[in-house]
Structure 1
């Protein structure tokens, strides 16, 4: 059953990718919130859900995803990476070169994929975030099913950005993509010895300006010092 579902999912994504490339004329495929809605609608086309209902719940899940980061939680995305929210405290004097005067650096925030950095809060897995989103609709079986499909599809889209020709642009949140790092020689930070670093593809996230401001305000309340 699972293998059959995996094949259906791959086939559906391949169709979506081909359609996006045909419509844009570009090799790079960009998923958006509308893409998540389109895929879920295809999954559940005979289940009675309307496009308006699906789009609305996709927006709801994006807010749920943002809320986890704003609570200071690291989001652990299965087979992809750890998205860690961090605050950069302001107050330090810096020089504004364009106006040739000293100003105070403002507090800002970001979220990046990292194996080592720690967030201010705990951590939540993609499965846990899906579960907590579904729990918002406890008592409404149909909405719970829809919520589960939307969250799972959202994370599936993120996972597909490990392909360098696929990115995911979520309005009000940011852009998921990947970057290939060529093989090189580095140094062990503890011993200083040279070490060979293999070529690899790493997940990347670029936070949107509106969400950066939201995140900075939220994390400042958690850690006001």
Structure 2
């Protein structure tokens, strides 16, 4: 049953990818919140959900996703990476090139995929995040089912950005993409010895400026 489900999901994505490429004329496919809504509508087309209803719940899920980061939690996306929110303390002297003067860097925040960096809060898995989101609709089973599909589709879009041919741009949150790092000779930070680093593709995230400011304020209050 699961294999059949996976094939159906892949088919929906492949059809949508072809449609996006045809409309944009670009090889790189960019998913957006509207894409998540369209996939869910296609999948649940016999269930009677309206586009307005689906878009509203997609927006609610993005806010729920952001709230986990604002709480200082690391979001663990299985088979993809750990999304870690961090505060970057200000005070370091930097040069303002426009005025050619030295100023102090202001405190800011960022969110990155990292195997080693730690957040101030705990960890939440995609399953945990989906369940806590669905719990908001305990009194409305119909909308609770929709919330589950939206959460799983949102994360499916993120994991597809493991390919350099896909990216996900979420207004008010940021951009998910991947970057291929070529094989090279590096250095072991603990021993100082040279080591061969194999070619690999890594997940990347670029936070939006409005959310960066919001996150900096939230994490500063937690210090």
**TM-score normalised by length of structure 2:** 0.98
Match of 2:66 in 1: 66
Partner SS for 1:131: helix
What's the CA shift for 1:139? Answer: 2.0
Equivalent-residue separation in structure 2 for 1:127 and 1:177 (angstroms):
22
Work out whether 1:190 is the aligned partner of 2:185. Answer: no
What's the CA shift for 1:151? Answer: 0.3
Number of residues of Structure 1 aligned to a counterpart in Structure 2: 223
What's the CA shift for 1:103? Answer: 2.4
Work out whether 1:11 is the aligned partner of 2:20. Answer: no
Unaligned residue ranges in structure 2 (runs of 5+): none
Match of 1:134 in 2: 134
Match of 1:46 in 2: 46
Equivalent-residue separation in structure 1 for 2:97 and 2:164 (angstroms):
36
What's the CA shift for 1:192? Answer: 1.2
Structure 1 residues 60-139: aligned runs within 5 Å:
60-139=60-139
Equivalent-residue separation in structure 1 for 2:18 and 2:5 (angstroms):
20
What's the CA shift for 1:96? Answer: 1.7
Unaligned residue ranges in structure 1 (runs of 5+): none
The superposition leaves residues 146-167 of structure 1 with CA deviations (integer Å, 9 ceiling, x where unpaired) of: 0000000000000000010000
What's the CA shift for 1:106? Answer: 1.2
Equivalent-residue separation in structure 2 for 1:163 and 1:77 (angstroms):
16
Partner SS for 1:62: helix
Equivalent-residue separation in structure 2 for 1:109 and 1:218 (angstroms):
9
- For structure 1, which segment, 150-159 or 82-91, has the greater mean C-alpha deviation from structure 2 after superposition? 82-91
- For structure 1, which segment, 161-170 or 191-200, has the greater mean C-alpha deviation from structure 2 after superposition? 191-200
What's the CA shift for 1:95? Answer: 2.9
Equivalent-residue separation in structure 2 for 1:182 and 1:88 (angstroms):
28
Equivalent-residue separation in structure 2 for 1:70 and 1:203 (angstroms):
21
Work out whether 1:160 is the aligned partner of 2:131. Answer: no
- For structure 1, which segment, 98-107 or 125-134, has the greater mean C-alpha deviation from structure 2 after superposition? 98-107
Partner SS for 1:136: helix
Equivalent-residue separation in structure 2 for 1:149 and 1:49 (angstroms):
12
